[in-house]
Amino acid sequence: MSLIGKPLDLDSTAARTARDHVQNELRKLATLAETVKLGGGTKNIAKQHDKGKLTARERIAKLIDPGTELLEIGLFTAHGMYEEEGGAASAGVVVGIGRVEGRLAVIVANDATVKAGAWFPMTGKKNLRAQEISLENHLPIIYLVDSAGVFLPLQEDIFPDKEHFGRIFRNNAVMSARGIVQIAAIMGPCVAGGAYLPIMSDEALIVEGTGHVFLAGSALVEAAIGERIDNEALGGARVTSEVSGVTDYKMPNDDACLEKIRSIMSRLGPAVHPHFDRVEAKPPKYPEDDLLALVPADRAKPYDMYEVIARIVDGSEIDEYKSDFGKTIITAYARVDGWAVGIVANQRSVLKNAKGEMQIGGVIYSDSADKAARFVMNCNQKHIPLIFLQDVTGFMVGSRSEHSGILRDGAKMVSAVANSVVPKFTFVVGNSNGAGNYAMCGKAYDPRLIFSWPTSQIAVMGGQQASKTLLSIKLASLKKTGETISEDEQKRMLKEIQDHYNEHTSPLYAASRLWTDGVIDPRATRQAISTGIEAASHVLEIPKFNVGVIQV
């Protein structure tokens, strides 16, 4: 193993500027997170308490093991969306990976303070993401159900399509067939199609007085068939536990219900399988706080990705693969929290290749694509999880690259990543542009977890190039109509386009649409990787690796 990195001069202008930018972004995110975690606001939280119910986050806090934290998925989901409907904080559902009786589990909790827990389109997408994580990792999943059902004004965007509401119940059936434990607690209303989720789980609990489950509530029953009956008599805890037998456990309150779930979890059989190598962990040689000062706020500026890696891997040590070839991508074996990993990272420094030619950092050339493809194959053969650190502006263009076979080598890399069978974890550190996003395991390539740093940006192309392109298109359109505009007006238009583009390519915008699982503090990267690999250790077996038609 080779030691990498060097002490960082935190008093340098570059370090201070980068640190100030990241800390400012983290402060803004922390302030927003506090608001999001209030769900529908303090008044609605008080109403929840008045009904004798805990909130979604209070339930999760009591469910997970003391002293542990939830790795939250999609905290900022739906941010800035559904404004006309009054908004939907965190899409009205809290999702995460937590430890219950020592066992990792996916937890899904409807937030009834947000439109009575109604399902918006992004609520469905977030629930499907939770089930995807459970399916991929063979993790138990716990549903804390408290929802009024589909948000009817937007029903056409959540009801009939393949990736809509009904897919959740299809997944319930598939997960059960695969032996993935599903536990559902009915802690509030559970109506219509939503009633299938808990009842298609392996075990269902219901809370007396607050939990109700039925295909149609009392008002609809009266309208449909003229029968007058209240919700408790129709589908309350006593009826479902003693008469219909639809539920398995009748619990007096939220606290008792959560304790029963913990008891059920404590009796599960062995879960973790020794697919991935782990030894005693060592901290990096350099302080994790350095991660706040390494990536420039200006995404066009170069920096050394080795220094970032040195603050993430155990002992700041790596075994680099093909260190003198394809230098715009770093490929290396290392350990993170004791776990053996393979790292694929974009190098942002300006480099020279073996021929003495200058290469632009963050760009994927033919040689680096070929190297990365071979490294990904090696990790699959050795059952080593892959970590992708993205700061990529795309593949190299131009006659020299085309003649050297950039399309062929790029296709090799994309094929290797697409067919990879070991767990993949992606962190968008800086730029994530164009096909580079795909090759470096963007969301479309099934990373087990994908998080972005506050310094990230996801877009087809960089903001400066895109803004100038969009402006030229707009000016050409105006020219056709005979209009002319001043240079000052062009500058104003360019700024307006840039501001709009930057907003729509920000890490928060990506997180709000679940293109990523969230925006994290760079210092949380090690723990996210470790939790992700531990979760992936629950899979029964790793499939055979094949690369398909494209030969690498």
Coil, strand or helix at 386: strand
Q: Cα 511 to chain center, whole Å?
A: 8
**pLDDT, tens only, 417-436:** 999 999 999 999 999 998 89
- Count CA within 13 A, CB hemisphere, residue 298: 7
pLDDT at position 438:
94
Tens digits of per-residue pLDDT, 205-218?
A: 999 999 999 888 88
Report residue 490's pLDDT band, with 50, 70 and 90 as the boundaries. confident
Among left, alpha and beta (phi > 0; psi -120 to 50; other), residue 209 is left
* pLDDT surpassing 60 at residue 265: yes
The residue to which tokens 């038609």 are assigned: 549
**pLDDT exceeds cutoff 60 at 460:** yes
pLDDT at residue 401 tops 80: no
pLDDT-based confidence at residue 550 (cuts at 50, 70, 90): low
Q: Which candidate, 502, 468, 526, places its Cα nearest to that of 25?
A: 502
Render the burial of 25-57: b for 16+ CB within 10 Å, e for the rest: bbeebeeebeebbbbbeeebbeebeeeebbbbb
List the structure tokens of 53.
């119910």
- Mean pLDDT on 222-236: 88
Mean pLDDT calculated for residue range 486-491: 77
Instruction: Label residue 549 by pLDDT band (50, 70, 90).
Output: low
pLDDT at 473: 78
User: Which DSSP string corresponds to 475-505?
Assistant: HHHHHHTT----HHHHHHHHHHHHHHHHHHT
Structure tokens at 64: 């997970």
307 versus 469: the higher-pLDDT residue is 307
Mean pLDDT of 510-532: 98
What residues pair up with 207 in beta bridges, in sequence order? 251
Residue 510, token pair as written in the block: 């990506």
Given a cut of 90, is residue 155 above it in pLDDT? no
CA distance 106 to 448: 13
Q: Which residue has the tokens 């790795």?
A: 71
Strands 203-207 and 141-147: unpaired
Residue 403 pLDDT exceeds 60? no
Place of tokens 């309208």: 223
Give the number of C-alpha atoms closer than 13 A to the C-alpha of residue 426, restricted to the C-beta side.
29
Question: Which residues, other chains included, contact 271 with Cβ-Cβ below 8 Å and sequence gap of 6+?
Answer: 103, 104, 138, 140, 538
- The better pLDDT of the pair 460, 38 is held by 38
Tell me which DSSP letter residue 151 carries. Answer: -
| More confident call, 294 vs 235 | 294
Does the pLDDT at position 397 exceed 80?
no
3-state SS, residue 89 = helix
Q: Can you tell me whether residue 541 is helix, strand or coil?
A: coil
Task: Determine the pLDDT at residue 365.
Answer: 92
pLDDT at res. 448: 98
First to last CA, the chain: 27
Phi-psi region of 195 (alpha: psi -120 to 50; beta: other; left: phi over 0): alpha
Identity of the highest mean pLDDT range in 157-161, 227-231, 529-533: 529-533
pLDDT above 70 for 275: yes
Q: What is the pLDDT of residue 503?
A: 80
d(CA 291, CA 521): 9
For position 30, what pLDDT does the model report?
97
Question: Is 222's pLDDT higher than 90?
Answer: no
Share of the chain above pLDDT 70, in %: 98
Pick 196 or 506 by higher pLDDT. Answer: 506
What pLDDT was estimated at residue 219? 82
Residues 6+ apart with CB under 8 A from 386: 341, 342, 343, 344, 376, 379, 420, 422, 423, 424, 425, 441
pLDDT number for residue 312: 98
Mean pLDDT, rounded, of the chain: 92
Q: What are phi and psi of 222, to 5 degrees?
A: -65, -40
Give the pLDDT of residue 478.
74
Pairing of strands 424-433, 457-459: parallel
Q: What is the arithmetic mean of pLDDT over 130-136?
A: 98
State the DSSP string of 287-350. Answer: -GGGGGTTS-SSTTS---HHHHHHTTSGGGEEEESSTTSSTTEEEEEEEETTEEEEEEEE--S-
Residue 340 is encoded by which pair of tokens?
Answer: 């053996």
Residue 38 or 356, more confident = 38
3-class secondary structure, 95: strand
Residue 552 pLDDT greater than 70, yes or no: no
| Confidence label for 500 from pLDDT (cuts 50, 70 and 90) | confident
The pLDDT tens digits for 55-113 are 999 999 999 999 999 999 999 999 999 999 999 999 999 999 999 999 999 999 999 99
Look up the pTM and report it: 0.93
Distance CA 235, CA 23 (A): 51
